Amino acid sequence: MTGRIKDKVALITGGAFGMGAETARIFAAEGAKVAIVDILDDEGPKRVQEIESAGGVARFWRLDVTDDAAWAAVTAEVVKAFGRIDILVNNAGVSGSKYEDPFDETGWRTLMSINVDGVFYGMKHVVPIMAENGGGSIVNLSSISGNTGQNNIHHGYNASKGAVRTITKSAAVRHARQGIRVNSVHPGLMPPMRTSGATADPVVRQKMLARVPMRRNGRADEVAKACLFLASDDASYITGSELHVDGGYLAS
């Protein structure tokens, strides 16, 4: 443990599984008290146990990120338990390959609701808490899909991650004087999401890999470490920026 975010309080959405869980693990190892929020009632407590066994501090709260009232209740409980919130990682999301038809309307609503409303509500409820404490750092999970089109992804995924990219810049400008930094992280080809459809298929993934200059998948810890950098004081003059963790995909 090097303590890069020692004694900070970090709330991580979708922190019970995948990259959010890895971010929770690394943040706790770097000294943060971690509030894991997710809809996975079985996985959440397991992540807390793992972090505690490694000597870290974490707690789990059930939170559906699309639920405004639940955000109000859970953020109040986190402040009661840990005293404040210094870091928010808006990581919860649903995959763009869950729906095959790019015009599937349920897909559009679900993607916009979880991927965009979730980030909006997270910032709505956490910004005032951070502002009252003199500042904080928000990291929003966008994607390479927020910067470019893809021919095997629902239109709503690209639209939702593009919205995350620009709301990040909007919030960075608006809340800079409250001491709040807001940045986005853009993973490329990572291990499949829980909700991945075609993009979890090894044949499809092989074709996608051919477009990645580094010719390999990213790992969850490589995204978590980018989140750690932006969350920490090492990034003290960085706000409104986007960090591509994509093996060179967007540069090619």
Ligand X SMILES: NC(=O)c1ccc[n+]([C@@H]2O[C@H](COP(=O)([O-])OP(=O)(O)OC[C@H]3O[C@@H](n4cnc5c(N)ncnc54)[C@H](O)[C@@H]3O)[C@@H](O)[C@H]2O)c1
Annotated catalytic residues are 157
Single out the segment in contact with ligand X by CB under 6 A; choices: 15-23, 46-54, 73-81, 231-239. 15-23
CB of 179 to ligand X, least distance (A): 26
Comparing CA positions, the residue from 78, 18, 86, 28 lying closest to residue 231 is: 86
CB of 240 to ligand X, least distance (A): 19
Comparing CA positions, the residue from 225, 195, 182, 177 lying closest to residue 90 is: 182
Q: Does 87 engage in binding with ligand X (CB under 6 A)?
A: no
Q: Does 162 engage in binding with ligand X (CB under 6 A)?
A: no
CA distance 239 to 182: 5
Among 64, 77, 117, 221, binds ligand X (CB under 6 A): 64
Q: What is the DSSP letter of 166?
A: H
Q: Does 14 engage in binding with ligand X (CB under 6 A)?
A: yes
The answer for 98, left when phi > 0, alpha when psi is -120 to 50, beta otherwise, is alpha
CB of 110 to ligand X, least distance (A): 9
CB of 178 to ligand X, least distance (A): 25
| Per-residue interface string for the shown chain with ligand X, residues 118-157, x marking contact by CB under 6 A | -----------------------x-x--------------
Site for ligand X in 104-123 (CB under 6 A): 114
Buried b (16+ CB within 10 A) or exposed e, 153-190: bbbbbbbbbbbbbebbbebbeebeeeebbbbbbbbbbb
Among 4, 9, 10, 17, binds ligand X (CB under 6 A): 17
Say which residue the tokens 């929770």 belong to: 24
Residue closer to ligand X, measured from CB, 29 or 245: 245
CA distance 176 to 212: 34
122: tokens are 């997270």
Q: Does 194 engage in binding with ligand X (CB under 6 A)?
A: yes
Site for ligand X in 207-246 (CB under 6 A): none
CA distance 146 to 96: 11
CB of 9 to ligand X, least distance (A): 19
Say which residue the tokens 């991580």 belong to: 12
Say which residue the tokens 């146990």 belong to: 49
Single out the segment in contact with ligand X by CB under 6 A; choices: 13-21, 78-86, 102-110, 128-136. 13-21
List interacting residues with ligand X (CB under 6 A): 13-14, 16-20, 38-40, 63-66, 91-94, 114, 141, 143, 187, 190-191, 193-195
